[in-house]
Structure 1
Amino acid sequence: MIKLFITTSIVALLFSCNNKEAHKNNVSETKKEIIVSNEKIVSLNGAITEVLADLGYENNLVGVDVTSTYPSSVKEKAKDLGHVRSLSIESLLALKPTKVFATDKDITPEQISQLENAGISVEIIKQDYSIDGTKNLIKSVASTLNNTNYETLDNKIDTDLKKLKLIPTKPKVLFIYARGAGNLMVAGKNTPMEKIISIAGGENAITEFEDFKPLTPEAVVKSNPDYILMFDSGLKSIGGIDGVLKIEGIAPTNAGKNKKIIAMDGQLLCGFGPRVGEAAVQLNQLLQK
C-alpha cells in the first residue's frame, strides 16, 4: 500500500501543459464530433478524461480529478474534485452523475460500494503502462459508452510512434520527482517513467529497486545517468537547471557534466492516455540532443 500511495501520489498531481499547441493540431483528426448524450460523467483519471474528450464527451463531464489537466477546457466545464486519495464522496454525489470512470488504481472498494448504493454506474478500467495497455484502456472506455470510434485514437498513436528514431546507444535516463529541493525522489523499475523512457529509446538509470524511493547522492553517482528527466513543474520548483546541478551527486554524472536536463509536462509524460505516442516522440527527440 505504501508503494502504491507513493506511485499514485506522484502521478496524480496538477501539471501545466507545455505541449498544448502541438496537440491542438492533431485533435481535429481524432475528435470528429461532439457526442449528444444524457450521461453526466465523472472521471477520476487524467488518461480516461483525455479519452472521453477525444471521443466527444467533454461536455458530459461534470467532475474530474486533479490529474485531468488536458484538455485545459475540462477544468472550465467540470468541477475539480481534487486528489482521489482525499475524494469526498459527498461532493461527487452532489454532481448527480450517471456514470463514474476510474482505473483499478484510483478508487477503493468502499468508495465503489458507496457510489453503486447511490445508483451510480461505476466503470473500473484496468490501466497498464504500455502501448497495448493504453489501447485497451481506450477501447474499454469507448465500449462502456457503446462508442465505436475509438480506432481513430489507436491509429493516431500508431502514426505518432512511427516518428520514433532509433537511438543506437540507449542513453541512461534518471527521472527525478521534485516538489522543492527538500522533496526529491527517483523512479525505479515498474513505474510509468521507466516504461515511457523505454518506449522513447532510452533505459532507466535505476535498476536496483521498484517504484519510487528518496534520492540519495550515492545512488545518483552509481547510476551515472546520461540525462536527468523531470516534470516541468518539478524543475521549476527547484530553481531550474542550476537548481538541478546543485543536487548532491548530480554534478559528477554524465548528465551533470553535460547539463543534459529534460523537462516535460507531467500528464503528457506519464499519463499513458491518447497522447502516449506524442510523449514518446517528444522524449525520443530530446534524448538525441
Structure 2
Amino acid sequence: MKHIVMLAFVLTAAISCKKEEKVTEETTVKTDSVVSAKIEKIVSLNGAVTEIVAALGHEKEIVATDVTSTFPESLKTTAKDLGHVRQISIEAIMALQPTVILATDKDMSPELLEKIKKSGVKAEVFTQEFTPAGSKKLIADVAKTLNHADYKALEEKIDTDLAAVKPIAKAPKVLFIYARGANMMMVSGTGTPVEKTIELAGGKNAVTDFADYKPLTPEALIKGNPDVILLFDSGLGSLGGPQGVLKIPGVDKTNAGKNKKIIAMDGALLSGFGPRLGEGAAKLNALLSENAK
C-alpha cells in the first residue's frame, strides 16, 4: 500500500512539473513575441535624425538611410544608402518594408512627402531648427516617436559640450566653401547650419549679403576677405588639400589665403545639429582659436 501511495505521489509530481514546464514555455514564447513586436524597421532620411535614433539605442533597427547619415560609421555596413533625399523614390523606401519612416522637411520634395504620408507606414517628418534648443527639440520628438522616454542625457550632452567653447578675443571672419571638386564650389551666405555653428564657435560669417548658398566667385572671396576658410573634410579632399584651396582664384588676395588659414571638419559634425552639436561647435572653436594666434 505504501508503494502504491508513493507511486501516485511521484506521478502527480511529474505531471505537475510537465504542466509547469508547459506554462513556462508558453510564457517564454509569449514574452519573445512581445519583444519581437517592438523591433522596428526604421528608414531615416536625415543625418541628425539618424544620429539620434542610434544614440537612443535603436541603431540595429535602422534598415536604410539617406546620404547625409554618415554617423555612426557602422551604418555603412548595416543599412542601405538610399542616396540624396531629393532623388529617393517611394518605391525604394517601400521595397524595404519599413515600419517607421523618419525625416525632416529640409530638402524633401513635396511629392515624396505626400507619398510617404499616403504609404500607410508610420511616418514622422520633423521641422529642424538650427539652434541648440532646436536640436534638443528634435531629440525629444524623435524619442517620443519611438516611444523612448529616456533621452535627457542626449540633451544634456549638448550643453556640456557647448560649455567647452572658449571666448575668442576677436571673432574671426570665416568663409565656408562647399566643394565637390574645383568645378563645383558654393559659398555659404546667411541662414545656413554652418553659419549657425560658426557663430556658436565664436566666429562670424564672412559673407552676409545673401542667404543660403551661391556659386563661389573671386569677387565674393575678395569682398568677404575671410580670416579663415572652412570646408568639409570631403570638400577639402576633393580640391587636393590646402594647396588646392590656395589655388582658387581670389583666395590669395584674402587674409586667409595670405596667412594660409585653411581648416576642415567632418560634415555631419559641423552642420548636422544632432546630439553632437556641442561637440562640433567646441571643435571648431578650438580650430579657430588656434588659427587666431
* TM-score strictly above 0.5: yes
Query: Cα 1:169–1:142, aligned 2, differ >3 Å: closer, same or farther?
Result: same
**Aligned mates of 1:198, 1:211 — CA distance in 2:** 15
Shift in Å, 1:106: 4.2
Q: Scaled by the length of structure 1, what TM-score is found?
A: 0.85
Shift in Å, 1:247: 0.8
Which structure has more relative contact order (CA 8 Å, sep 6+)? It is: 1
Post-superposition CA distance 1:200-256 (Å, at most 9, x none): 000000011101011111111111100000011111111111111111111121111
Worse overlay, 141-150 or 187-196: 141-150
Post-superposition CA distance 1:165-205 (Å, at most 9, x none): 00121000000111111211100000111100000000000
Partner letter of residue 167 of structure 1?
I
1:113 is aligned to: 114
Equivalenced residues, count: 255
1:88 pairs with 2:89 = yes
2:64 is aligned to: 63
Question: Conserved in 1, the CA contact under 8 Å of 2:48 and 2:274?
Answer: yes
* Paired residue secondary structure (2:73): coil
Question: Conserved in 1, the CA contact under 8 Å of 2:269 and 2:276?
Answer: yes
Q: Which has the higher helix share?
A: 2
Question: Conserved in 2, the CA contact under 8 Å of 1:44 and 1:106?
Answer: no
Worse overlay, 176-185 or 166-175: 176-185
**Aligned mates of 1:174, 1:279 — CA distance in 2:** 17
Question: Conserved in 1, the CA contact under 8 Å of 2:175 and 2:188?
Answer: yes
**Aligned mates of 1:277, 1:77 — CA distance in 2:** 27
**Aligned mates of 1:106, 1:250 — CA distance in 2:** 30
2:193 is aligned to: 192
Post-superposition CA distance 1:69-109 (Å, at most 9, x none): 10011121111111111102112101111110000224334
Q: Scaled by the length of structure 2, what TM-score is found?
A: 0.84
1:156 is aligned to: 157
Post-superposition CA distance 1:96-141 (Å, at most 9, x none): 1111000022433432333343320110111011111111110100
Question: Which entry has the higher C-alpha Rg, 1 or 2?
Answer: 2
Query: Cα 1:218–1:56, aligned 2, differ >3 Å: closer, same or farther?
Result: same
**Aligned mates of 1:145, 1:239 — CA distance in 2:** 42
1:79 pairs with 2:71 = no
Question: Conserved in 2, the CA contact under 8 Å of 1:45 and 1:65?
Answer: yes
Alignment of 1:250-265 (within 5 A): 250-265=251-266
Percent sequence identity over aligned pairs: 59
Question: Conserved in 2, the CA contact under 8 Å of 1:171 and 1:203?
Answer: yes
Off by >6 Å, runs of 4+ in structure 1? none
1:22 is aligned to: none
Alignment of 1:240-279 (within 5 A): 240-279=241-280
Post-superposition CA distance 1:31-86 (Å, at most 9, x none): xxxx9732111000010000000001101111111111100111211111111111
